[in-house]
Amino acid sequence: MEGEPGNFSVTLNLRPRFIDADKCTACGLCTTYCPRHLVDAYNEGLDLTRPIHIDYPQAVPATYFIDPNACLHLQHGTCKICVPVCRSHAIDFGQQPEKRTLAVGAVVMAPGFGRVPESTLAKYGYGAHPDVVTSIEFERMLNASGPFKGEVQRLSDRKHPKRIAFIQCVGSRDIGCDNGYCSSVCCMYAIKEAMVAKEHDPEVDITIFYMDIRTQGKDFDNARIRAEEHFGIKFVRAKVADVMPWREKIKITYATMDGRHAFEPFDMVVLSVGLDAPADARRLADIAGFELNKYDFCKTATFAPLATSRPGVLVAGAFQGPKDIPESVTQASAAAGSAAALLREQRKAGIVVKSYPDEKPVEEEEVRIGVFVCHCGINIGSVVDVPDVDRYVEGKEGVVYHAQTLYACSQDAQEVIKEKIREHNLNRVVVAACSPRTHEPLFQETLKDAGLNRCLFEMVNIRDQCSWVHANEPEAATDKSKDLVRMGIAKARHIQPLPEQTVPVTPRALILGGGPAGMTAALAIAEQGFECYLVEKASRLGGSLRDMHYMLDGSDPAKLLADLVARIEANDRIKVFTNATLKAVGGFVGNFSSVLAVKKGKGEQEQTVEHGVIVVATGGQEHRPDKYLLGQSKKVLTQTELEKRLAGRAKNRAPKSTVMIQCAGSRGDDLAYCSKVCCTHAVKNALKIKELDPSAQVIVLYRDLRTYGYAEDAYREAREKGVIFIPYEVDRKPQVVKKGNRVVVEFFDPLLQEEVSMTPEVVALSVGYVPQDTEQLSKLLKTPVTEHKFFMEAHVKLRPVEMAVDGVYVCGMAHSPKPLDEIIVQAQAAAAKAAMPLVKGEVEVEPIVSQVNKDLCIGCSLCVNLCPYQAIQMVKEGKKRKAETIAASCKACGICASHCPTFAISMGGFTNEQINAQIEAFGAQEEETTNG
Amino acid sequence: MGQTASERKGAVMVVGGGVAGVQTALDLTELGYYVYLVEKGAAVGGVMAQLDKTFPTNDCSL
Ligand SMILES: Cc1cc2nc3c(=O)[nH]c(=O)nc-3n(C[C@H](O)[C@H](O)[C@H](O)COP(=O)(O)OP(=O)(O)OC[C@H]3O[C@@H](n4cnc5c(N)ncnc54)[C@H](O)[C@@H]3O)c2cc1C
Ligand code: SF4
Ligand code: SF4
């Protein structure tokens, strides 16, 4: 890789698949003929496959490949049986490795994570005993399409295990194997795997051996609680000392907190292995010229979490540091946004816009339907009698052409469909094949290529609905296919072309909240080339960034603050409103109009702004529990107050003795949830105290110490420097009492097995975070909040920064408590998503949205109240009120149409007429079968 | 078409086709850029494609 940002030249090695991707239909015939066995890596070696195979049926690309290290022909020059077997002549042993050079403007590194070496797993009996498995092997065992079809089995005797143990932190938090960090995801996936195993077999007894359960993600603690209370999964805080075969079983020896040793037999042991750096990280870093951290993951900084050391090269996902899917997806969007900002000048220069022939008007023509019935290789054809269904179509009203096809979705079939449309002057097309969910867009595209409106298409699903669910009743499946095809044709007689609609977008963003999240988002959107309004309720920008005085990695939050503020002031695309709040919002994605209330002296001034998208970044604040004498004694501080004191100038700012109490008011107390940041905050402050005065005493009373990721290093450092960490149980919380001038902390020490009382100079409470104003704001924006009043994302994993209302995005503490680096990433991600409609300049509306016939509408507004997307509004028409669809917001769910008492609403592509025709065709079965 | 691959303007290369790489690629196309998604295996998906169900919602999310 050479060059610089905007202008890199990269060289790739392309390895051959030995199969022509354009020809392969993924029918799988070759695999059944291939004579050689091969251990199936996709199934973690728990199954066998063949050298010519595909990992799993839904793989993308859906093309088979040949493993050159296992193939008899490629290794020994023999065999080649697959070549004549393949009906589409896709196998090509002539393919050669290729080198290709590309010009790119930016690079995003997302090579994920690697495997913990087997030598580390061997310490836990892995390899020596077949029933000690890794979590990823266990994951394959649980999978219904995995090697055991979802049945958990012991590899030694194929019996169902009755007692399973999970061992946490294997290959993580362990400097013995050079992985000092916490992998952040294994506690959650172990709980998940344990619960799924329990669902499969409620009798199985499961114990999880752990040091701390780190379920710090948004509402992740619920999973742990459910595992314990609902599924009866046991959690044992202990260090596993030894894993030994013992008769038919495996014996685990462990040491509990009170220093006792115990052992227990299990049928199976699952190792919760951590996420290691990718094996080839070093090579990749050398080629692409960026630095790695000491663990061989990508090196980044707290304030620029996705920038590698080489400008123009970004990073996302687990390679940036171990993380789960929601955070990987968030980072991905953020990295995409950063790359896009870098290449702003070239936006849209490299993309290819497809053009289509003009649409043929068909309204006046007689109906001419073409029907294509698909075999899907053997997927449909081995159950449903496809030739019979095809014959059945003959002579149906409106049908002028019909045919069978081996794979309707293949590239050559699209050509055939286009040709037949021309040849027979077809103006409606019915394809009886698989699911419209996955394939409708493909066929609609074909219609557009042939000059037909894409809505002149109807798909009948004879795979999922017939050959799959009635696999053992071929005749019934064939009859049902005929019914469905007849109904599809009946509907097709009534379908009409629908216009493509677009709504123009106001190319501007409104950002609520001027803390680190809001400021980052504003800059990111401005760097994409769009204007934004940044609205802050306080008199100056900064938010919670003003409460941060030092970071674990030594970087300076005050510098970040100054830098952000300076860049915002210098950017003429950003208009800042301070002392301002949102008062009202109208409109929809692309066309919002909002009223801001701006404080002016004693009064208030209103200002209306027009914008296309909204980013909510209203942040959170420290919770102040009425507990542990907070507010009643000057000796009791929150961690933020302690940080301020430690960052000050006073000589005695480091207390001689401090007791920190974690989860003060959190995790089932005033706040039900974990605030994610307080454990790391406590460790940060403890280290600061030790830095200022190494002889100072610091004791941290905790439940689970959640210094996930690289913060684990700081936790270890704190212990090494003499900070004492003592766990407490929920039913035995520490007490803080006043005795004269002194404040006394009483707690139970599990190691000594006795009550201890201390009189520290300072008691520091880790109090957790609460959202600000979200309830009121959620009413204005019509976006839901969680039970804990944080904004709810549209989908935790797939759409982590979008909200249920189109055009509204969320980031920072308004979404959930999180540390600064994650706030910055999330803000960049929200900005990237928010920029999408602005880049497009218009919002596309699916033609199937609802439409109100105003003559029939009686203005009852039932639909307005029922629509889950706020996509219907009432408008005044003369003196009457009438419903009207906001096409850009409608998701075409059909709730309104099915409830309207006067049938005033119809759904494009699903009109009453069409549905009635289908129902009538269904009832017409009797008649048809008797007539022939 | 017109342009050949080597002169395509404003293209971005994404290395790794796991959930992070795939999402990056999708978002970049939405933002108006041509993307080369480079994956060393035979299919995209990364580790997520091997998982049974995924937390926190314990659905498959494929
Ligand atoms: C047992 C287990 C269970 C888990 N369960 C969950 C869960 O339930 N929920 C959850 O949120 N998370 C879960 N995780 C975490 C989840 O797997 C990761 O968050 C996610 O896979 C990270 O995605 P990624 O794209 O960064 O990396 P990966 O999934 O590792 O993908 C990286 C991709 O890059 C490719 N690649 C690597 N190097 C190169 C190179 N040099 N050139 C080209 N391509 C390359 C790889 O082949 C791979 O396809 C689990 C992890 C494990 C181990
Ligand atoms: S169209 Fe559907 S049924 Fe036909 S080959 Fe493709 S996937 Fe299979
Ligand atoms: S179809 Fe659904 S989204 Fe559209 S207006 Fe009706 S209820 Fe709302």
Test B9 with A107 for CB contact under 8 angstroms. no
How many angstroms does the Cα of residue B15 sit away from the middle of ligand 1?
13
Nearest CA-CA partner of A620 in A809, A818, A772 = A772
How far apart (Å, rounded) are the C-alpha atoms in residues A183 and A202? 29
State the DSSP code for A275.
Answer: P
Residue A893 Cβ inside 6 Å of ligand 3? The answer reads yes
Sheet holding A7-14, edge to edge: A2-4, A7-14, A98-104
Q: To test ligand 1's pocket by mutation, which of B48, B50, B62 has the most ligand atoms within 8 angstroms of CB? A: B48
Helix residue ranges, H only, A425-556: 436-449, 474-492, 516-527
Chain B environment of A196 (Cβ under 8 Å): 52-53, 58
Which of A103, A220, A349 is the closest to B56 by Cβ? A220
Test A10 with B8 for CB contact under 8 angstroms. no
Residue A429 near residue A417, CB atoms below 8 Å = yes
pLDDT for the residue numbered A847: 86
Query: Hey, is the C-beta of B4 within 8 angstroms of any chain A C-beta?
Result: no
Query: Hey, is the C-beta of A816 within 8 angstroms of any chain B C-beta?
Result: no
Q: To test ligand 2's pocket by mutation, which of A376, A412, A440 has the most ligand atoms within 8 angstroms of CB? A: A376
Chain A environment of B50 (Cβ under 8 Å): 42, 44, 136, 139-140
Q: Which amino acid does the sequence have at A159?
A: K
> Within 10 Å of residue A864's Cβ, how many Cβ atoms?
17
Test A60 with B45 for CB contact under 8 angstroms. yes
Which of B16, B33, B55 is the closest to A109 by Cβ? B16
Residue range A720-739, pLDDT digits in tens = 999 999 999 999 999 999 99
Query: Against a cut of 0.80, is the pTM above it?
Result: yes
pLDDT for the residue numbered A406: 87
Which of B36, B42, B56 is the closest to A102 by Cβ? B36
Residue A892 Cβ inside 6 Å of ligand 2? The answer reads no
The residue assigned the tokens 């005929």 is A482
How far apart (Å, rounded) are the C-alpha atoms in residues A380 and A754? 70
How many angstroms does the Cα of residue A63 sit away from the middle of ligand 2?
14
Residue A112 near residue B47, CB atoms below 8 Å = yes
Residue B36 near residue A104, CB atoms below 8 Å = yes
pLDDT for the residue numbered B10: 82
Distance between alpha carbon A14 and the CA centroid of its chain, in Å?
29
Chain B environment of A55 (Cβ under 8 Å): 42-43, 49
How many angstroms does the Cα of residue A484 sit away from the middle of ligand 3?
27
Residue A674 near residue A220, CB atoms below 8 Å = yes
In whole angstroms, how far apart are CA A509 and each of A209, A791, A806, A891?
49, 19, 13, 23
Nearest CA-CA partner of A450 in A425, A476, A486 = A425
> Within 10 Å of residue A203's Cβ, how many Cβ atoms?
7
pLDDT for the residue numbered A931: 44
Complex ipTM value: 0.93
* B31 to chain A: closest CA residue: A836
Whether cis (ω within 30° of 0) applies to the bond prior to A760 is no
pLDDT for the residue numbered A927: 52
Considering only residues 141 to 170 of chain A, which have any Cβ-Cβ distance to chain B shorter than 8 Å?
142-144, 146
The dihedral built from the CA positions of residue A71, A77, A81 and A82, taken in this order, carries a sign that is positive
- The CA dihedral of A867, A870, A872, A878, to the nearest 10 degrees, is 130
How many angstroms does the Cα of residue A883 sit away from the middle of ligand 3?
12
A875 strand-pairing partners = A882
How far apart (Å, rounded) are the C-alpha atoms in residues A881 and A861? 9
Q: Inter-axis angle of helices A325-342 and A516-527, to 10 degrees?
A: 40
DSSP run (H or E) holding A452: none
Number of inter-chain CB pairs under 8 A, A vs B: 210
How far apart (Å, rounded) are the C-alpha atoms in residues A892 and A19? 41
Residue A791 Cβ inside 6 Å of ligand 1? The answer reads no
How far apart (Å, rounded) are the C-alpha atoms in residues A732 and A66? 61
A930 CB contacts (<8 Å, ≥6 apart)?
none
Residue range B28-44, pLDDT digits in tens = 999 999 999 999 999 99
What are the φ and ψ backbone dihedral angles of A39, each rounded to 5 degrees?
-65, 130
Test A105 with B34 for CB contact under 8 angstroms. no
pLDDT for the residue numbered B3: 46
Chain A environment of B37 (Cβ under 8 Å): none
* Mean pLDDT in order along chain A per 10 residues (932 residues): 95 96 86 95 94 88 93 95 93 96 96 96 95 97 88 94 98 95 98 95 97 96 95 97 93 93 97 97 98 98 97 98 98 98 91 87 94 89 95 96 91 91 96 89 95 96 93 95 97 92 94 98 97 98 97 96 98 98 92 96 94 97 96 97 97 97 95 97 98 98 98 98 97 95 96 95 97 93 94 93 94 98 98 97 88 94 90 91 90 92 92 93 67 42
Nearest CA-CA partner of A613 in A538, A536, A537, A533 = A533
Could you identify the atom of ligand 2 that is nearest to the CA of residue A405? 4
Residue A33 near residue A77, CB atoms below 8 Å = no
Query: Hey, is the C-beta of A324 within 8 angstroms of any chain B C-beta?
Result: yes
Chain B environment of A112 (Cβ under 8 Å): 16, 18, 20-21, 46-47
Query: Hey, is the C-beta of B39 within 8 angstroms of any chain A C-beta?
Result: no
State the DSSP code for B5.
Answer: G
Q: Which amino acid does the sequence have at A190?
A: A
DSSP run (H or E) holding A682: helix A678-692
How far apart (Å, rounded) are the C-alpha atoms in residues B48 and A325? 8
How many angstroms does the Cα of residue A410 sit away from the middle of ligand 2?
8
How many angstroms does the Cα of residue A494 sit away from the middle of ligand 2?
25
The residue of B4, B23, B26, B29 whose CB has the most chain A CBs within 10 angstroms, and thus the best one to mutate to test that interface, is B23
Residue range A533-554, pLDDT digits in tens = 999 999 999 999 999 999 999 9
Chain B environment of A54 (Cβ under 8 Å): 42-43
Within A498-656, strands assigned E span 501-504, 508-512, 531-535, 574-577, 580-588, 591-600, 603-611, 613-616, 620-622, 636-638
Q: Which amino acid does the sequence have at B46?
A: G
pLDDT for the residue numbered B1: 38
How far apart (Å, rounded) are the C-alpha atoms in residues A838 and A661? 47
State the DSSP code for A267.
Answer: S
Test A317 with B16 for CB contact under 8 angstroms. yes
Q: Which amino acid does the sequence have at A597?
A: A
How far apart (Å, rounded) are the C-alpha atoms in residues A831 and A336? 10
Residue A804 Cβ inside 6 Å of ligand 3? The answer reads no
Query: Hey, is the C-beta of B58 within 8 angstroms of any chain A C-beta?
Result: yes
pLDDT for the residue numbered A144: 82
pLDDT above 90: percentage of residues in chain B: 66
Which of A58, A105, A347 is the closest to B62 by Cβ? A58
Q: Which amino acid does the sequence have at B21?
A: G
Could you identify the atom of ligand 2 that is nearest to the CA of residue A463? 3
Helix residue ranges, H only, A800-894: 820-840, 862-866
